[in-house]
Amino acid sequence: MMKKITLLILIFLFSIGYSQVTNQGKPYSWKLNNLEQVMPVKMPSFDLKALKDEDKANEHRKDIPWRFGYEFIVDHNLANSGKWHTLPNGDRIWRIRFKSRGAKTLNFLFSDYYMPEGGKVYLYNNSRTDLLGAYDARQNNETRVLGTWLVQGDDVWIEYFEPAAKAGQGKLEIFKVIHGYRTAEDMQKSPDDDLNASGNCNYDVDCFVSGIENLKEINKKAVGLMITDNSGFCTGALINNTGNNGTPYFLTADHCYSNPAEWAFRFNWISPNPVCAGNANSITNAPNFYQTVSGAQLRARRAQSDFCLVQITANLPSSWNLVWAGWNRSTTAATSTFGIHHPAGDIMKVSRDLNPPTTATFDGVLSWRVADWDLGVTEGGSSGSPLFDQNGRIVGQLYGGLSACNGLNDNNSPDYYGRFDVSWNAGTTAASRLRDWLDPTNTNAITVDHYPTQQLLALDAKAQIVNLNLAACANTFSPVLKIINRGVQPLTSAQISYSLNGGTPAIFNWSGNLTSGNAADITLPSLTGASGANILNATIASPNGATDLNPADNTVSTTFNINVYPVANVTLNLVTDSFGNETSWTLKNESGTTLYSGGNYGNFQTINQTFVLNTAGCYTFTINDSESDGICCDFGDGSYTLSTGSNIIYQGGAFGSTESVAFRLDNAMSVDDNMLKASVKVYPNPSSGVFSITGMQSSVSYSLYNVLGQQVQSGKLETGSSTINISQSANGVYILKLTDSATGGQASFKLVKE
């Protein structure tokens, strides 16, 4: 099994997401005070271990959706549950709250959904950090069934607003509550735990791919993640028709089929800061606007080539910048192929094969066989995802196969895609073939390009951080930046400015010759980070000495931690879960000698261990779980904390079979820096905007930076305690840099506003 190593040099990509079908503000109740208390409807426990055992048995299967949740059948509606509140003008609000202990997410199925004009439904978690809505009359459909997207957390509200003029007209029957017990984020924490996770050889779609870069950038806008049967993930794509009219047809796999009226879709789920070094996974935090929509109608499906075509019932906003992919129904094999998909419900990934696919029959399905991916793989959750030819046109959708990650590499196994040319006309009716829907005027076209046409700009240079080159326990690094030519004209020169922690930008002048769709890597001069949180910011400008016509992709940034401490004792605080005997750990020095170890604990036991460390160097703490499910949170809220003095080195608990933490003790560390870091406390963190800062022994100057490295606030903090208020700033990550006016000591902290 693959070992996961979490160094104390971490890249943090964080934002709080408001997931919305359309942008219609916040629920009405958020503006009100003294609303009547609503007690949560508590879901019963279930046999989670049995589900996980089934998931492990289905490790290599792609011919079924990737299951993420357990379904509870319920019966709650506007008449028998929840609380009504009447507003002074006669409008009414109905609220109900569901709690399912330990859920990563909750989603819902309405078996009777009807919204009058002006009626709105919102879903949000109890902490109000994730919001879905508003659902309204535009989601009404003939079946009166509607499935929702996921809301983060185990405590979720459903709120219905009803205008006074429409009193009694709305219908909302909750039939299913789905307890999401695993997510793509968990899979990356534990690639051995819940199998079919998004493995470390997957490749983020926004990472540069030679030869298909421009085609990939277009077609990623067509691909969507979908919830099928309320508790499983598949992938599919918007697909064009010969009328070039934007009819929201969505192509996926027949084996993903369930009632399409219950489906929910998410588009453009792409990491804002992809990790492109080697093939390591990026952290999959969501962008701060979710493009989700619910409900579809079946148009055609057939098992022979495993295709399913649906039409999404809602209008897709033009602001989402979506693309309807082109297609190729020729029986001639492509010269090369690539796929775009959502493995394990993860952020969007890309796979590429430089060789032609071959025809094959796999489990009875007439398929294109991709023998061995040259880049990336597919996994459970990728089912139904499109296979594109060398011109970026769909030639099939994923049925199954054996490709998977083997550590950072793929396992050199094939995948099989139902053939588009077979799906086109093999069926005998419109309900079993594609041609009636995708060529409604019988043009007999063999190929169709994407819609709407995507035009490249004359000058468009894109920047991407490829690798920090930050080794374990180090604080100096030489980051690698990739320059990508997304424009039409060859790129021969550009100016790169970069800065660390809001410092004075340095300039790197690049020259070369990049044709459209090509890229070059540059290694920036060595930088030295501060102990604690850091921001690296880089901007590319002046392509060919002119103005970049697309400045939106010029700037890239990443936050990361460097933790170096003075030589001192380190303390381990360990709390076991309900299977304490599964947990063991070791602490090793940089030569690999085991200095301390422990294990064979009782259930829910608390262990405090002090490590006496008198020598400077790099140390590695490794914790293991023999059943590969960590110590949190499925079977109790276990946790572990490493600290030195008042400094927390690392806190964890949610991992799979193993997790390792590396940290450095250094005699040369500034005493003043360490004293400031040790004495100052920042809380609450995360916060809604007001942070308390305590422990200053003298006055301290501060600067606050956003993830772009821009200073957003500065000032002085007086001795003792003070506050910083960023309530009016955007949600996200900030870096707080403190300087002691008396000693000159410096310290930095990562703040999260939600």
Q: What span, in angstroms and rounded, lies between the C-alpha atoms of 689 and 712? A: 13
Look at residue 740 and tell me whether its pLDDT is greater than 90: no
Which pLDDT score is estimated for 599?
96
Indicate if the pLDDT at residue 69 is higher than 70.
Answer: yes
Of residues 311 and 201, more confidently modeled: 311
- Residue 688: pLDDT band with limits 50, 70, 90: confident
Residue among 169, 167, 193, 166 at smallest CA distance from 182: 193
In a domain, 23, yes or no: no
Q: Per the residue annotation, which of 136, 254, 306, 577 is the catalytic one?
A: 306
Residues 741 and 646 in one domain: no
Which is nearest to 126 in space by CA: 161, 106, 149, 97?
97
Segment among 10-24, 352-366, 542-556, 674-688 with least mean pLDDT: 10-24
Predicted pLDDT at 678: 66
11 band by pLDDT with thresholds 50, 70 and 90 = very low
374: tokens are 């040259």
Mean pLDDT of 250-272: 95
The mean pLDDT of the chain is 88
> Higher model confidence: residue 600 or residue 198?
600
| Residue 272, SS3 per DSSP | coil
The predicted pLDDT at position 733 comes to: 80
Report the range of poorest mean pLDDT among 16-20, 154-158, 180-184, 685-689: 16-20
- Least Cα distance to 609 among 581, 637, 628, 584 occurs for 584
Residue 316 has pLDDT above 90, yes or no: yes
> What confidence tens digit (pLDDT) does each residue in 183-215 have?
755 544 433 333 234 567 889 999 999 999 999
Whether residue 49 lies inside any domain: the answer is no
H-run or E-run covering 673: helix 671-679
Taking only the tens place, the pLDDT of each residue in 333-351 is: 999 999 999 999 999 999 9
Catalytic residue (one of 76, 179, 255, 342): 255
State yes or no: is 154 an active-site residue: no
Task: Answer yes or no: 55 catalytic.
Answer: no
576 with 535, same domain: the answer is no
Peptide bond before residue 137 is cis, with ω within 30 degrees of 0? no
Residue range 483-527, pLDDT digits in tens: 999 999 999 999 999 999 888 899 999 999 999 999 999 999 999
Predicted confidence at residue 188, as pLDDT, reads 42
Q: Is the pLDDT of residue 107 over 70?
A: yes
Q: Edge-to-edge strands of the sheet including 570-575?
A: 606-611, 570-575, 639-644, 647-652
Q: Would residue 186 count as lying in a domain?
A: no
Domain boundary among 427, 448, 469: 448
The pLDDT, as a whole number, for residue 30 is 94
Residue 190 lies in a domain: no
Q: Which of 321, 447, 440 is nearest to 391 (CA)?
A: 447
Residues, the chain: 754
Q: Is residue 713's pLDDT more than 80?
A: yes
Please indicate, yes or no, whether residues 245 and 365 belong to a single structural domain of this protein: yes
**For the whole model, what pTM was predicted?**
0.82
Q: Can you tell me the distance from the alpha carbon of 308 to that of 700, in angstroms, rounded to the nearest whole number? A: 62
Q: Which helix (H) or strand (E) holds 671?
A: helix 671-679
Q: Are residues 325 and 438 in the same domain?
A: yes
- 692 and 655 inside one domain: no
CA angle 469, 479, 678 (to 5 degrees): 75
Classify residue 580: in a domain, yes or no. yes
Task: Note the pLDDT tens digit of each residue in 347-371.
Answer: 999 999 999 999 999 999 999 999 9
**Given 282, 294, 367, 383, which residue is catalytic?**
383
In the predicted model, is pLDDT for residue 289 greater than 70? no
- Interior/surface letters 640-661, b for 16+ CB within 10 angstroms, e for the rest: bbbbbbebebbebbbbbbbbbb
Token pair for 634? 């499925």
Q: Are residues 723 and 680 in the same domain?
A: yes
597 is catalytic: no
Beta-bridged to residue 557, according to DSSP, are 537
Which of 420, 448, 476 terminates a domain? The answer is 448
* 403 has a pLDDT exceeding 90: yes
| Region 422-446 average pLDDT | 97
For residue 172, give its domain range: 38-43+62-180
Q: What is the mean pLDDT of residues 114-125?
A: 97
